A and B are shown apart, each in its own frame.
Chain A
Amino acid sequence: MSPRALSRAVIGERTWSRLLDLLVFAAVLAAIEGVLVIARYWFGAITPAAHISRSPRSLPLYAFYSVVRIAVAYLLSLVFALGYGYIAAYNLRLQGFMIALLDVLQSIPVLSFLPGVMLAMVALFPTRQLGLEFGAILLIFTGQVWNMAFSFYASLRSIPRELREAARIYGFGAWQRFVQLELPYGAIGLVWNSMVSVAGGWFFLMACEMFVLGKRDFRLPGLGSYLQTAASAGDTGAIFWGMGTMIGVILLIDQLVWRPAIAWSDKFKFEQVESSSQASSALLHLLRRSTLLTRFETAVVAPLSERINMRLARGGTHTHTAPRDTAWKTVVAMVGGALLAGAILYGLLQAALTLKTLTGPDVGATFKGAAATFLRVFVALVVASAWTIPAGVAIGFNPKLARFAQPFAQVAASVPATALFPVLLLALVQMGGGLGVGSILLMLLGTQWYVLFNVIAGAMAIPSDLREVADVFRFRPWDRWRTVILPGIFPYLVTGLVTASGGAWNASIVAEYFHFKGRTLSTLGLGAQISSATDAGNFGLLLFSTIVMAALVVTVNRSLWRPLYRLAERRFKLEG
């Protein structure tokens, strides 16, 4: 290369990185402006039932409000998940209790909390918008947090023994251990679970931006309320605008957040040998080249982390100490435990008082509804399996098809089912179909993807030599399915079905009961029961049907899914 060409290349490189810096700078400015907008809105006077405009021009602001809700809820979930996972993994006394609690909390239909949380938050901040916003955020949070907490807990528990011992023998302090061992080890699981969680967050966002509680109308400006308003009015143009914006936002988040996050977390793969395939993200690559960011890292982040480390490093003074006296810890634990027990007791008492308002017919209707919804969930799962197993296996076995189908399916899956409900309902009503069958379709919409993705993953994981065996011995199609494919995808299928069934139960709350063009569509079901109890402000019935649903989900998990899981682990695990 001639000197001139070289210098031109250098100049090109330099202007490029200048441009990047400019972009980063602009992004920071935009973020500050965003914070200001949000602050003004949150601390402004409360408007429980905001007027929702159907003009496409108001969409950017609505989308912004919705994204902020999800982002704040996600950050809360992340912090909570790290803390919960950490305590559950290390506090042996609390471990069993915390994991069982996680299991139950995961099974409680989040939407049942809606009225309680909203009323509490509005009571907490009666004059500011903050209360309403925080209520919505808290709901999204409860929908996102559990799988992340469990993922981090499981990662912590599976850290290899010798790595732990290395950290101990070299005297790592708590902070260093967290930054250099625990967080990196859990990073990949956290990123993937974050993606799933945020997709679920959209689902709840749609539901909690607009609802009726007794005589009170709650409406928060956002994408969800826009879509619902547009659907109620039958405004097809507005529906398409709203859907387009939502898909655009989801794609943007995928490109700007998840792709870079996956590529970044690749570095934390726990492997001793470099693998051939590596995730990549153009954005991450660009960001790494920005001088502004590198300077920020060396001038602010590194010294700060160093400072924290210095403060917490033990500096070699701890040896020869017998285990410290833990009497005060026991006292604190006992006082905490007593307080907790008291709170639980009080809660139970209140719940019992609320339940006393239940009437006999209500109880009967709840059980009938439970049976109907149970049947619907079952049918939804069967239908989902019926098309996703062949489709997933076809995609998984055929790399060419996979390259084409997977991105498409990913987009389809990340569009929250709740957003599509209004559109589908419009179609259903026009076709004259009832909600009894229609709600199955709505459940399917949200949950079939879990099955599909898992089947694809399972089909891809079947070793090619097993398939070759089937080819060599000319297995007939049925034998091929029975001896190779079904056992191969079984563990993945179970995982997919567990997630799908949880999703379907939750979806029943929005699928079986719907406000539409000024009237209420509903059908017999537990979800409809919960929704209508919310509408009527009948807390006794709401609490009772919620308990019934949670109990059903937990029972099905324990008696059906967990044994299947064990079977999959034992019999159908493909090992090298």
Chain B
Amino acid sequence: MEAIIEARKVEKSYGSEGKGSIQVIAPTDLAIYPGEIMAVLGPSGSGKSTLLRMLTGLAKPSGGEIIHHGHEVGGPCENVSIVFQSFALFPWLTVVENVAAPLKARGILAAERTQRSVRILDTVGLDGFENAYPKELSGGMKQRVGFARALVVEPEVLFMDEPFSALDVLTAENLRGELIELWQSHKMPTRAVFIVTHNIEEAVLLADRIVVLGKNPGRIRTDFRVSLARPRDRKDPLFTQLVDYIYRVLTRPDLAPALQPQPAIAKPAGPQYQMLPHARRGAIAGLLEMLADHNGRDDMYRLAAALSFEIDDLLPVVDAAVVLGFAKVEEGDVEITPQGRAFAEADILRRKELFRTAAMEHIALIRQIRRSLEAKVDHSLPDTFFEDLLDEHFSEEEAKAQLDTAIGWGRYAELFDHDSTARRFFLPEEASASKPEPEAASR
């Protein structure tokens, strides 16, 4: 079957060529075929949205090419639509003007524009709201306008960038059902749907084909078809099995998934600098306490539910517990280590101590900051010193985020302090006074 849009060895990196450049997406092959709903899943930072923007021609790949019906894409693709996470409606245009805007861009006359827009608004269940302004509508209705605007041009491929994540649970479920119905009854002339999401159940519910991305840099980890019959039932054992499988793939970044044979997985490039997961230590403590209560081991899926976290939000916390040596991950389960248990059961002062020991032992960046500060006579260094150091390994934004996380952890551990106005790191007073071994309980 001939692909509609095909990515050939596309990659994306930011920053200048060579030393300072950061690869966001490693060379990747991906094709969108007619007749399927394709879902792309991945943790944040895996470049899902960047991939979508390259496939639509909105973003230019740094390498490789995007082929649309046999031609290389140079600008935004003709005949595709995007449904945006934030809806991206023009607040100063009425509903019908919003929907008619793409038709206006194609040079279609006013009368026909209105007629087609009204018809499509009817299809998505918004008749009667033609002359309302977006701000008068609820979130679900706004996204309906977003759908209508995307469908009015009868796109060949409908792209959706986390279309339901800004909506409440019930509204999202309702819209998903309607999308499936439109697709199955062929009420929309669209030949393929490409949906980016971080919600695993959503992907399993909607998609004929699921692609799971990994991060650092973004790459395809697995790509398989879903053979469940429609309508799909969340309680079907096959459904939950598939959800579980995807959880396991997502939570074991080091494991090569092996459910279906899979064309070569791009290798991560170069040796990696240790990356701090962006988790606050309060969340880490919460996770460890929860684990200790659950007999020291629990399924990631159940933990997320118990903490009412999206898996996307839980992952960095688990990562943080793992790098600190407080927990380890096995087969989609999280298990607490003896150090982790000691931490969960300790009082406030003792926790600080344990955290300090763990951070100095396992976290390269925190160790580096502490050592550098100790080496300086005035025990103080500017942010820029460490930013320059991190810039070689991370994007500018990520370098800042790394430093912020390190500041949060280091402050808690009383290893160093930071002045955000002067943008300098310094040692806490008692530590700089009594230099060698900073004993915490001495207060």
Nearest A residue to B70, CB-CB = A320
Q: Is B153 an interface residue (CB 8 A)?
A: yes
Q: Is A472 an interface residue (CB 8 A)?
A: no
Contact across chains for A165 and B105 when beta carbons are under 8 A apart:
no
Tally of contacts, chain A with chain B, CB under 8 A: 109
- Given the complex, which residues of A lie within 8 Å of B135, measured CB to CB? 271-274
Q: Is B136 an interface residue (CB 8 A)?
A: yes
Which of A219-227, A309-317, A343-351 binds B? A309-317
Contact of B106 among A272, A273, A316 (CB under 8 A): A316
- Given the complex, which residues of A lie within 8 Å of B76, measured CB to CB? 168-169, 171
Q: Is B53 an interface residue (CB 8 A)?
A: yes
Query: Given the complex of chains A and B, what is the CA–CA distance between A268 and B93 in angstroms?
Result: 9
Contact of A162 among B79, B84, B105 (CB under 8 A): B84
Nearest A residue to B107, CB-CB = A313
Contact across chains for B92 and A314 when beta carbons are under 8 A apart:
no
Contact across chains for B105 and A171 when beta carbons are under 8 A apart:
yes
- Given the complex, which residues of A lie within 8 Å of B119, measured CB to CB? none
Contact across chains for A162 and B110 when beta carbons are under 8 A apart:
no
B64-82, CB < 8 A from A: 68, 71-82
Which of A83-91, A96-104, A173-181 binds B? A173-181
- Given the complex, which residues of B lie within 8 Å of A306, measured CB to CB? 109-110
Contact across chains for A270 and B53 when beta carbons are under 8 A apart:
no
Contact across chains for B101 and A180 when beta carbons are under 8 A apart:
yes
Query: Given the complex of chains A and B, what is the CA–CA distance between A267 and B82 in angstroms?
Result: 26
Query: Given the complex of chains A and B, what is the CA–CA distance between A190 and B172 in angstroms?
Result: 38
A304-332, CB < 8 A from B: 306, 309-310, 313-316, 318-323
Most buried by B among A165, A184, A274: A165
Q: Contacts A271-B135, A272-B91; is A169 near B72 (CB within 8 Å)? A: no
Q: Contacts A267-B92, A319-B77, A321-B74; is A313 near B104 (CB within 8 Å)? A: yes
A237-271, CB < 8 A from B: 267-271
Shortest CB distance A236–B (Å): 51
Query: Given the complex of chains A and B, what is the CA–CA distance between A316 and B81 in angstroms?
Result: 14
Q: Contacts A176-B105, A180-B93, A272-B135; is A165 near B88 (CB within 8 Å)? A: yes
In this complex, how many residues of chain A approach chain B with their Cβ under 8 Å: the count is: 40
- Given the complex, which residues of A lie within 8 Å of B86, measured CB to CB? 160, 162
Q: Is B216 an interface residue (CB 8 A)?
A: no
Q: Is A134 an interface residue (CB 8 A)?
A: no
Query: Given the complex of chains A and B, what is the CA–CA distance between A136 and B84 in angstroms?
Result: 50
- Given the complex, which residues of B lie within 8 Å of A567, measured CB to CB? 421
Contact of B68 among A267, A310, A320, A323 (CB under 8 A): A320
Q: Is A571 an interface residue (CB 8 A)?
A: yes
Q: Contacts A170-B81, A180-B101, A273-B135; is A165 near B53 (CB within 8 Å)? A: yes
Size category of the binding interface on chain B: 35 or more
- Given the complex, which residues of B lie within 8 Å of A5, measured CB to CB? none
- Given the complex, which residues of A lie within 8 Å of B385, measured CB to CB? none
Q: Is A166 an interface residue (CB 8 A)?
A: yes
Query: Given the complex of chains A and B, what is the CA–CA distance between A171 and B73 in angstroms?
Result: 14
Contact across chains for A163 and B88 when beta carbons are under 8 A apart:
yes
Contact across chains for A274 and B421 when beta carbons are under 8 A apart:
no
- Given the complex, which residues of A lie within 8 Å of B78, measured CB to CB? 171, 316, 318-320
Nearest A residue to B69, CB-CB = A320
- Given the complex, which residues of B lie within 8 Å of A270, measured CB to CB? 91
Contact of B90 among A171, A184, A310 (CB under 8 A): A184
Contact across chains for B104 and A322 when beta carbons are under 8 A apart:
no
Chain A window 133-172, contacts with chain B (Cβ cutoff 8 Å), 1 for yes, 0 for no: 0000000000000000000000000001011011011111
Nearest A residue to B84, CB-CB = A162
- Given the complex, which residues of A lie within 8 Å of B136, measured CB to CB? 274
Nearest B residue to A313, CB-CB = B107
Q: Is B102 an interface residue (CB 8 A)?
A: yes
Contact across chains for B71 and A320 when beta carbons are under 8 A apart:
yes
Q: Is A570 an interface residue (CB 8 A)?
A: yes
Contact across chains for B105 and A172 when beta carbons are under 8 A apart:
yes
Shortest CB distance B41–A (Å): 21
Shortest CB distance A351–B (Å): 39
Contact of A314 among B53, B107, B133 (CB under 8 A): B107
| 11 pairs, A vs B, C-beta closer than 8 Å | A162-B86, A165-B58, A165-B82, A168-B76, A169-B77, A169-B81, A171-B105, A172-B101, A180-B101, A274-B136, A319-B77
Q: Could you tell me which A residues sit within 8 Å of B by CB distance?
A: 160, 162-163, 165-166, 168-173, 176, 180-181, 184, 267-274, 302, 306, 309-310, 313-316, 318-323, 567, 570-571
